[in-house]
Amino acid sequence: MSEAAQEHATPSNGVNIALSAEQLDACLRLVEALVFASVEPVRESSIRALLVGQALIAEDASLAPVMEAFVARYETFGVEPVPVAGGWQFRTRPDLAQALTRVIERPRRLGRSAMETLAVIAYHQPCTRTDIESIRGVALSQNVLDALLEDSLIVPRGRKEVPGRPVLWGTGTGFLQQFGLQDLSQLPRREELLLDVPNVAPAPLLDTQAGSASDDAAADVVPANDVP
C-alpha cells in the first residue's frame, strides 16, 4: 500500500471491530462497485453510509480495515484505488502511463499562459483577475479563464469587497483530480519552486490585445496525470 493511501485509510476515530471473511468480502465488493461507478472521487462518508445501510458495519465502526484491504486487493493490478480530492478514485498505475499514452487520446493541452494563470491562482487564492495580471506581468485573456473554467480547474470564490467587487478565483475539485492531489496542502511549497535568477526589472503590463496574442502564441504544456 502506498504511504499516502495508508495514511488516508486510517481514520482518526471509529471503533475497530473485527469483520468475518464473508463480511469483509461483501464490504470490498460494494466499495469496489461504488468507486468504479462514480465519476467523482468517493468520500469515506459515502462509503460508510453504504456499508451501514447494508448492515455490514456499525455506525461507529472504523473503516480502516475495509480501506486497507481494498487498497491491498489491487496491489498487483494495473489500476489502484488512490485518495484524491478528499475521496477515493481508481487511477492507472504510474508505471503503465507511458505505454497507455500511445493508444489513449491525451486530454486537451493547456497553453503556457493557462498553466501560469492556474499556478498563480493555486498559490494566491482567492485572487482577482487584477491580482493575476499583476503577478504575471501581462494582461489575462478571457479565453484563458474560459478554458480553465470549462475544465473545472478554477471556480469563483465570491467577490472582493472593493469598488467594482471583482470576482475572486480559486481552484476547484477538478484541479485536485487533474494533478492527483488529496488537498492543497500537498502542493510543493513556493520556496521549493524558486530558482536563482538575475535581478531584472519586471515586464510592463501589456494591453489586453497584446496579452491575448502572447497567450495564444505560448507553447503548450501538458498537465500532470495525462492518464486517468
pTM of the full predicted structure?
A: 0.53
Reading the block at residue 55, the C-alpha cell is 448492515
By mean pLDDT, which of 8-22, 26-40, 201-215 is the weakest?
201-215
Domains and CATH numbers, the chain: 3-100 (1.10.10.10), 110-221 (1.10.10.10)
Q: What is the reported pLDDT for 211? A: 45
Which of the pair, 193 or 46, is modelled with greater confidence? Answer: 46
**Confidence band, pLDDT 50/70/90 cuts, at residue 77:** very high
Mean pLDDT across 11-35: 80
Query: Is 196's pLDDT higher than 80?
Result: no
Looking at the chain, the whole-number percentage of residues with pLDDT higher than 90 is: 40
Checking if the pLDDT of 153 tops 60, the result is: yes
Among residues 118, 107, 105, 106, the alpha carbon closest in space to that of 215 is found at 118
Please state the three-class secondary structure of the chain as a single string: CCHHHHHHHCCCCCECCCCCHHHHHHHHHHHHHHHHHCCCCECHHHHHHHHHHCCCCCCCECCHHHHHHHHHHCCCCCEEEEEECCEEEEEECHHHHHHHCCCCCCCCCEEHHHHHHHHHHHHHCCECHHHHHHHHCCCCCHHHHHHHHHCCCEEEEEECCCCCCCEEEEECHHHHHHCCCCCHHHCCCHHHHCCCCCCCCCCCCCCHHHHHHHHHHCCEECCCCCCC
pLDDT score of 209 more than 70: no
49 vs 13: which has the higher pLDDT? 49
Angle at 165 between CA 164 and CA 171, to 5 degrees: 135
What's the confidence (pLDDT) of residue 3?
45
Q: How many other C-beta atoms are found inside a 10 Å radius of the C-beta of residue 107?
A: 14
Q: What percent of the chain has pLDDT over 70?
A: 73
